[in-house]
Amino acid sequence: MRDRMCLSRRLLIQAGGVTAAGTLLGIRGAAGVETNADKPADASTGRRSKSLDTEYFKGMYATEADPWQFATSPYERDKYAATLAALPRPHYASALEVGCSIGVFTHQLCPRCDALIGLDVVPSVLDAARKRCADCLNAQFQLAAVPGNWPDGRFDLILISEVAYYLDRADLARLVARVRGSVLPEADIVLVHWLGVTHYPLSGDDAAEGFIEGARDFARVFKQSRTAEYRLDVLRATKA
């Protein structure tokens, strides 16, 4: 399990994997309440067969304000620094961060953008992000469960960090379509995903490669890097 996770998060992933009996019974949230129990897993992989829904994430934040340790873990700190360093441009006019959580990376990204929209699915999480980014007058936050919900506007930077693997393949294709419809010419699209074992519908590699393949008609790979823990892919939207 990755070092960035708190104990309850490790237990969640262990519970979501292939159990000793070979059957996935459901994921227990931080409060001990089973979430996504109606979402069956693939018997051969232990992965959820359907996209994780809003209740899953509400369960994660039910008793912990920062269950993924975004604000404190060395993994997150180093990944954020690498992500900022990988951005091809020093500044962007309009950025979209899909899955902003409590706004730790959002706060670091704000100085690189004229305007930034952060999306997440849990109201209390967005409240925390707004508080953390209170000094960022260029940031706004919206409640949205992608790919079903998506903000208006067009962007020259879209960040999808540790999000796409929560989706099944059908929803990943819908996410690609959302991005296709909202990128400006030569926009940058940044994908970051952990490479370890999870119970999510897709692995980090599946999510990244699936997105890249789905976006090949409007975006090309600009740069890629890989560590033992995560992969980082930067795509450049082709000219209109």
Q: What is the CATH number of the domain that holds 199?
A: 3.40.50.150
What is the model's pTM? 0.84
Q: Count the domains in the chain.
A: 2
> Quick one: pLDDT band at residue 45, thresholds 50, 70, 90?
low
- 16 with 24: CB under 8 angstroms? yes
Radius of gyration over every alpha carbon of the chain, rounded to an integer in angstroms:
17
31 within domain boundaries = yes
Q: Which structural domain, as residue segments, surrounds residue 17?
A: 7-60
65 within domain boundaries = no
Verify that 219 and 114 share a domain, yes or no.
yes
Distance CA 220, CA 26 (A): 38
pLDDT in tens, 63-88: 899 999 999 999 999 999 999 999 99
Mean pLDDT (whole number) for 172-179: 98
> Quick one: pLDDT band at residue 99, thresholds 50, 70, 90?
very high
- 118 with 130: CB under 8 angstroms? no
Dihedral (CA of 177, 179, 183, 185) sign: negative
Q: What is the pLDDT of residue 158?
A: 98
224 within domain boundaries = yes
Distance CA 134, CA 130 (A): 6
66 within domain boundaries = no
Q: Which two tokens stand for residue 102?
A: 């409590």
* Phi (first) and psi of residue 34, to 5 degrees: -70, 130
Verify that 39 and 119 share a domain, yes or no.
no
Give the three-class secondary structure for 33. coil
Verify that 212 and 155 share a domain, yes or no.
yes
CA separation, residue 98 to residues 30, 33, 44, 119 (Å): 23, 26, 30, 5
Distance CA 213, CA 169 (A): 12
CA separation, residue 35 to residues 29, 123, 125, 183 (Å): 6, 18, 18, 34
Verify that 97 and 206 share a domain, yes or no.
yes
Question: What angle separates helix 204-214 from helix 169-180, to the nearest 10 degrees?
Answer: 50
Final residue of a structural domain among 34, 60, 86: 60
CA separation, residue 15 to residues 10, 43, 124 (Å): 9, 14, 26
